[in-house]
Structure 1
Amino acid sequence: MIVITSVLRDEILGAFRELLPVLENGEILKRPYVRGLIGVNEVLLVYGLIGKVESAMMAQALIDRFKPKYFIHCGSAGAINKERKIGDIVCGTEYIEHDISFREKNVRIFKASDVLMERIYDIFNDIKFGVIASGDVFVDSEEEKERIYRETNAEVVDMDSAAIAKVCAENDINFCALKIVVDSSMEGSEIEIKRNLKRLAPFPSAIIAEMLEKHLL
């Protein structure tokens, strides 16, 4: 089984539209899920993973209940690398929590699944690969943006990917996150998100759906 998650419903619509047939509708920890097929792959779609705590909680619950082989997280993110533009799609190669002190020796970096990265690139090669940094803070200042980039060398920032990556690593589950840039992580980012989110959010999950149509995982 492949689990595909997102924070918002709009971010998982690209995969939901390709889910046929639908085999089951249910609920897990008060979040709705849908199970079905994309191609010949059995897929479970869930949204509502907001922030590091909820993301980790949901990831472990999904792993315990459904025992997936692959776990893919889709959605939106803010640019940290100044070269990243609105609409760029970033596949995370490594995941790190930027709101944990980097003076601590136990800060861990979690790596993405090589298999998933290769399959995604086979479908969509206009993609950026690099670090995704996560933290329970909305980044909307040049100072904070520069600090995170200096400490992590991340392409984008979100509030969820690193927490899911950590849980998957502890459970030996193949993980990858695919994110689209919807804001520049600067002053005025909230306006950018409102303008770009609905239009851009479904693209990463649509890419994953196309990948699952073509490849058996």
Structure 2
Amino acid sequence: MIKILFFFILTAFYCNVSVSQVPLNSSNKSVVKRNYNDITGILGAFPDEINLLLTQVKQKKERSIQNILFIEGILNNRRVVIAQTGIGKVNAAITTTLMVEHFSPQQIIFTGIAGGINPELSPGDLVIGSKVAHHDYGTVTPDSMIVRPTRNPSTMLENPVYFKCDSMLILLSEEAGKSIKLEQITINHDARIPKVIKGIIVTGDVFVSSEKTTEHLRTRMNAEATEMEGAAVAQVCYQQKQPFIVIRSISDNANTKASHDIRSFYQVAANNSASLVMAIVKSIAK
């Protein structure tokens, strides 16, 4: 009996040793396989960023998960699930994770407003994200901010600094942007039709209202726009092998007038971003 007991203890010991010696970056921890459902996930931080979408959704069905409301239905002949993330990267990551886990959408689209970094952008203009990056993750030095890559928690390997948006979604967005009808913007009594461009969007847990910061983000990161959720969504999607894209409409120019401008142009910017998303969804449904 003692010999048998000793055998089981010894066996358990060697099994534990063998498991503990598996490196964190081994393939069994780095590969994520996803079985996607025939559904598109749509996220926005503020109520007004998703309200226009919700008015067009048919056969609505609400589902609360961890006190976050997910609304399923049909939008432009496509099954969708829509949720409001709330402001900031942590809220965005939580909601994205729940959406991926419980709905397994084929793709995730983030829609909303942003501060313009490119000086040629004006309120109402749209930016189709080609890449998304954290601008506030890294090392703060006496005279600069050195942006560094985040890490995948399951492998401890570095993520890319710039998360690439899905190439097919970029193409669909660009095609939709050529024919979409957007709300005009009136600035200083001058009405103009917003333009649609593609470029880098950067994310931080700060509302940028500084010419110096916008110049830094433009020079160091080649950013077109800045906001507070996109890179968190992108990081979750990247780590979970989930196709995604971030769509943003400019509400201000991230300068000292940003707080004033966002109040003036927030609604039009939110609607223009949602309008492009609806056109993208329509293309996906074809």
- The equivalent residue for 1:123 is 176
Tell me whether 143-152 or 162-171 shows the greater mean CA deviation: 143-152
Question: Rg bigger for which structure?
Answer: 2
> CA–CA distance in 2 between the matches of 1:98 and 1:57?
20
1:212 and 2:212 correspond: no
**TM-score, normalization: structure 2?**
0.72
- The equivalent residue for 1:150 is 219
> CA–CA distance in 1 between the matches of 2:119 and 2:66?
38
Q: CA contact under 8 A between 2:132 and 2:163: conserved in structure 1?
A: yes
How big is the shift at 1:54?
1.1
How big is the shift at 1:199?
2.7
Tell me whether 205-214 or 8-17 shows the greater mean CA deviation: 205-214
C-alpha distance after superposition, 1:97-137 (max 9, x if no partner): 00123364656210001111111222212411000000011
C-alpha distance after superposition, 1:26-54 (max 9, x if no partner): 22332222100113321001113311111
> CA–CA distance in 1 between the matches of 2:66 and 2:118?
35
- The equivalent residue for 2:267 is 198
- Aligned with 2:56 (options 11, 18, 24): 18
- The equivalent residue for 1:95 is 132
1:58 and 2:95 correspond: yes
C-alpha distance after superposition, 1:137-172 (max 9, x if no partner): 111011111111122101000000011001001111
- Aligned with 2:166 (options 113, 118, 121): 113
- Aligned with 1:183 (options 244, 252, 270): 252
SS at match of 2:56: coil
> CA–CA distance in 1 between the matches of 2:86 and 2:161?
21
How big is the shift at 1:200?
2.4
Q: CA contact under 8 A between 2:113 and 2:266: conserved in structure 1?
A: yes
Gaps of 5+ in 2: 1-38, 139-145, 150-157, 179-194
**Corresponding letter in the other structure for 1:12:** I
- The equivalent residue for 2:116 is 79
C-alpha distance after superposition, 1:49-68 (max 9, x if no partner): 31111111111111111111
> CA–CA distance in 2 between the matches of 1:2 and 1:64?
14
Gaps of 5+ in 1: none
How high is the sequence identity, in percent, across the aligned residues? 25
Q: CA contact under 8 A between 1:14 and 1:204: conserved in structure 2?
A: no
1:45 and 2:82 correspond: yes
> CA–CA distance in 2 between the matches of 1:142 and 1:74?
25
* Residues paired across the two proteins, number: 216
- The equivalent residue for 1:67 is 104
> CA–CA distance in 1 between the matches of 2:126 and 2:258?
18
**Corresponding letter in the other structure for 2:117:** I
**TM-score, normalization: structure 1?**
0.93
Cα root mean square deviation, aligned: 1.6
- The equivalent residue for 2:46 is 8
**Corresponding letter in the other structure for 1:18:** Q
> CA–CA distance in 1 between the matches of 2:41 and 2:147?
34
How big is the shift at 1:177?
0.7
| Counterparts of residues 152-167 of structure 1 (less than 5 Å) | 152-167=221-236
